[in-house]
Structure 1
Amino acid sequence: MKAITVIPGQAGSVRVEEVRGPEPGEGQVLVQGLLLGICGTDVEIVEGLEHGAPPPGRERLVIGHESLGRVLEAPAGSGLAEGDLVVGIVRRPDPVPCEPCAHEEWDFCRNGRFTERGIKERDGYGAQRWRIEPEYVVRLDSGVGDRGVLLEPASILAKAWEQTDRFLTRTSWRPRVALVTGAGPIGLLAALMGVQRGMEVHVLDVADGGPKPQLVADLGGVFHTGDVTGIGVEPDVVMECTGHGPLVFALPEVATPDAVICLTGISSGSDLGEAPLELINRELVLKNTVIFGTVNAARRHYQQAAADLAKADQDWLDRLITRRVPMEEFDAGLRKEPGDIKVVVDLTL
């Protein structure tokens, strides 16, 4: 079968090659790969940057963690059947395990010994067939179709909103206004979930071209460009999806008292710049502001995200997938083109 592989740490090493089929010991569920989403983590692995590690004893890693597939074989009692549309969970608990991993909270792993499909020490989903354990499979409503490839990024936002909701229980007031910074796939999914929670949603991005403004408008949200301090929005909740340091530092200033700011983005720049730390400290303390980071997702977040996608406008979700490339053009899919939001690889071509 064909798979997309890379030598982590070596730029220019990505290729599509013939590899052995998945062995039964890799999981009782055999899946035909349908689609593979491309994200910034994949770009960093292919460019030889900080992410990526092959399975022990191997040089090459099968890349890809945003999966969509169809069940070919499943064991009795697994709750899965041939033909089911499924997504594979990315992270696996560490072997110790630490306390969170022992309670299926591998997204909160405390010792860093977790593994991740397509990223860290486990082959990913960028193959025509893959195997997986039943406990790491999430079955999708058949009506979601190809849009199920959005489940993994949506799970990140399901967790972000879950954790935000927990922080908001510290007081009696309820949030009304949400600001999402960044209108990529993560930001737009964050906006979708904010609207589903009945909030007034604003989305800030660097450019007003392409499909993003209309996608936000069709959610019932308001699209903005410019400096966050000048758009006239005072959010109770912020979903920060860019990782841009100067923007992050400005958020406590514009947020309302008792606001919750969730950071989902990671900066890719090396310019640390200068931050007004004393002013930021003052804003956080005097306004009871919570600012926290979040990464990865547990099984329950995949399940929450699956429910969120199922109840969303399916035509709207379709418009997030702006380009499809065959396996042989995976490398081209890493390079964003004008109007791109989510690029996916068709593993059947």
Structure 2
Amino acid sequence: MRAVTVTPGEPGSLRLVDDHPEPSSDEGAILVQALAVGVCGTDHEIVEGQYGEAPPGERDLVLGHESLGRVLEDPTGTLEPGDLVAGIVRHPDPVPCPNCAVGEWDMCRNGQYTEHGIKALPGFARERWRVQPRYAVGLDPALAEVGMLLEPASVVAKAWDHIDRIGTRAEWQPRSVLVTGAGPIGLLAALLASQRGLEVHVLDLATSGPKPALAAALGATYHTESVDELPFEPDVVVECTGAPVVVLDAMCKAAPTGIVCLTGVSTGGRTVDFDAGALNRTLVLENNVVFGSVNANRRHWDLAAEALARADQSWLASLITRRVPLDDYADAYRQGSEEIKTVLDFR
């Protein structure tokens, strides 16, 4: 079968293998026919050789962690042949740490987790893959064209789950949310905010392309000015850019008792002239919380599947700005300036 692979740590090693082995039954009882995989910044960084880890004893890594497939066989009876399914990316470490032991592998304490298409587990960018029942998430049939959005949606489902949990520390009635960054994570964060009935604001540099219209379709207000120029203080900030200046401004902008969730990953090596003392004073005196969030566990994947099923399917489809057939696989891993989500199509 065909599979898209890289040799981790070697830039320029991206290739389409025509004779990749069929998935081993050791990977899971459920056999899945791949329909599509989403491509994100993590994939670009792995292709560039920045990181990535092949399975033990292997040289190459199959890419793809944003999966969508259709069940071919499931002897466990968890799913039926023909069902839509996505595979959970992260698996718990073998020790396991206290969090992994209770199914919270997104909160792994020792870093020995594994991840499909990223760290020590083959990814989903292959014509057939297998998954264990506990890591198989069934999808509503309406998501046949957009189900690969489940992985990024699970990230923001976790973010909102933790925001809600932190909010219970005191009487808290949030009204407004600011989402910084209108990429897939940001727009999906805005979707979940709109489903909560909040006043949604989305901030991004783009003044053209699909982003302003997608935000407006959610009933959100779209901003292109800097965070510190905004004329309001949001109760919640979901930061999705990882840009150091935006991150710091977001921390300073939240309303008293506000919650700031950081989902964007910053690159190191950049120094910003910033008054850390003033930020500390604000956080302490206003009882604000800043926390980071990445990945998701099974509970969040299920929440994300419910959120996508409730969403306007045409809006979700508009997030996919480019679909690339498998034969043109290399084109899927080239970044475009105004793209939101690129999908590699196996159909």
Shorter chain as denominator, the TM-score bin is: over 0.9
Matches of 1:226 and 1:269 in 2, distance apart?
25
1:59 has 2:76 as partner: no
**Could you give the per-residue CA deviations for residues 113-135 of structure 1, whole angstroms, max 9, x where no partner exists?**
00000000010001000011111
Corresponding residue number in structure 1 for 2:98: 99
Shift, 1:251, TM fit: 1.7
Matches of 2:41 and 2:76 in 1, distance apart?
37
Corresponding residue number in structure 2 for 1:219: 218
1:264 has 2:252 as partner: no
Q: Which amino acid aligns with 1:47?
A: E
Corresponding residue number in structure 1 for 2:254: 255
Corresponding residue number in structure 1 for 2:157: 158
Corresponding residue number in structure 1 for 2:33: 32
**Could you give the per-residue CA deviations for residues 131-172 of structure 1, whole angstroms, max 9, x where no partner exists?**
111111000011121111100000000000000001111121
Shift, 1:271, TM fit: 1.6
Matches of 2:169 and 2:76 in 1, distance apart?
45
Corresponding residue number in structure 2 for 1:329: 328
Matches of 1:35 and 1:275 in 2, distance apart?
43
Matches of 1:127 and 1:272 in 2, distance apart?
41
Map 1:120-159 → 2, pairs under 5 A? 120-159=119-158
Shift, 1:347, TM fit: 1.6
1:187 has 2:182 as partner: no
Corresponding residue number in structure 2 for 1:75: 75
Corresponding residue number in structure 1 for 2:273: 274
Shift, 1:173, TM fit: 2.6
Whether the aligned pair in 1 keeps the contact of 2:240 and 2:263 (CA below 8 Å) is yes
Map 1:168-247 → 2, pairs under 5 A? 168-247=167-246
Q: Which amino acid aligns with 1:25?
A: D
Whether the aligned pair in 2 keeps the contact of 1:210 and 1:338 (CA below 8 Å) is no
**Could you give the per-residue CA deviations for residues 78-132 of structure 1, whole angstroms, max 9, x where no partner exists?**
x201000000000011001111111010001101100000000010001000011
- Figure out how many residues of one structure are paired with residues of the other and give that number: 346
Instruction: Look up the SS of the partner of 2:179 in the other structure.
Output: strand
Matches of 2:92 and 2:252 in 1, distance apart?
38
Q: Which amino acid aligns with 1:93?
A: P
Shift, 1:206, TM fit: 1.1
1:315 has 2:298 as partner: no
Shift, 1:250, TM fit: 1.1
Q: List 4+ stretches of structure 1 deviating above 6 A.
A: none
Matches of 2:153 and 2:200 in 1, distance apart?
17
Gaps of 5+ in 1: none
In the superposition, the TM-score normalised over structure 2's length comes to 0.98
Instruction: Look up the SS of the partner of 1:146 in the other structure.
Output: coil
Instruction: Look up the SS of the partner of 1:32 in the other structure.
Output: strand
Shift, 1:287, TM fit: 1.1
Q: Which amino acid aligns with 2:14?
A: V
Q: CA RMSD in A?
A: 1.1
Corresponding residue number in structure 2 for 1:43: 44
Whether the aligned pair in 1 keeps the contact of 2:240 and 2:264 (CA below 8 Å) is yes
Instruction: Look up the SS of the partner of 2:205 in the other structure.
Output: coil
State the identity %. Answer: 55
Question: Mean alpha-carbon deviation: is it higher for 330-339 or for 31-40?
Answer: 330-339
**Could you give the per-residue CA deviations for residues 17-51 of structure 1, whole angstroms, max 9, x where no partner exists?**
121111222211100000000011000000011x3
Question: Mean alpha-carbon deviation: is it higher for 328-337 or for 129-138?
Answer: 328-337
Matches of 1:340 and 1:300 in 2, distance apart?
30
Shift, 1:324, TM fit: 0.5
Shift, 1:338, TM fit: 4.3
Shift, 1:336, TM fit: 2.7
Q: Which amino acid aligns with 1:43?
A: H
Question: Mean alpha-carbon deviation: is it higher for 164-173 or for 152-161?
Answer: 164-173
Corresponding residue number in structure 2 for 1:4: 4
Question: Mean alpha-carbon deviation: is it higher for 152-161 or for 167-176?
Answer: 167-176
Shift, 1:269, TM fit: 5.3
Whether the aligned pair in 1 keeps the contact of 2:33 and 2:71 (CA below 8 Å) is yes
Matches of 2:12 and 2:327 in 1, distance apart?
14
Whether the aligned pair in 2 keeps the contact of 1:243 and 1:267 (CA below 8 Å) is yes
Q: Which amino acid aligns with 1:41?
A: T
Whether the aligned pair in 2 keeps the contact of 1:252 and 1:283 (CA below 8 Å) is no
In the superposition, the TM-score normalised over structure 1's length comes to 0.97
Q: Which amino acid aligns with 1:53?
A: E
